[in-house]
């Protein structure tokens, strides 16, 4: 059991290290291209809190769309049967 835990820990550390390394190399590559710059954030977006009204509205729309996608067929089938 201890070998399994050690192996899982080593795999997790290896995964995090590899992911971080890939992100850093991608950032360095992006910086090497001419004209690569960060896009400025509009003042309206900068003033809005993290979970502000715009974020909540977009989240609600996406949630409802996902629920409709997953359960829409079931709901229509039950409605046809009168349940």
pLDDT digits (tens, 9 = 90+) for 49-81: 777 888 889 999 999 999 999 998 898 899 999
Measured CA to CA, the distance from residue 10 to residue 72 in angstroms comes to 43
Say if CB 25 and CB 31 are below 8 A apart.
no
**Which residue has better confidence, 43 or 7?**
7
Local structure of 51: helix, strand or coil: coil
Share the mean pLDDT of the chain: 83
CA neighbor of 22 nearest in space, from 33, 14, 10: 14
44: its two tokens? 């309206």
Measured CA to CA, the distance from residue 46 to residue 33 in angstroms comes to 27
Question: pTM for this one?
Answer: 0.38
């Amino acid at each position: 059991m201890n070998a399994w835990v050690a192996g899982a820990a080593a795999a997790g550390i290896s995964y995090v290290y590899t992911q971080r390394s890939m992100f850093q190399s991608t950032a360095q590559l992006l910086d090497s291209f001419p004209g690569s710059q960060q896009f400025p954030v509009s003042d309206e977006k900068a003033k809005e809190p993290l979970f502000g009204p715009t974020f909540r509205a977009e989240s609600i729309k996406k949630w409802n769309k996902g629920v409709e996608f997953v359960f829409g067929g079931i709901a229509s089938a039950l409605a046809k049967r009168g349940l």
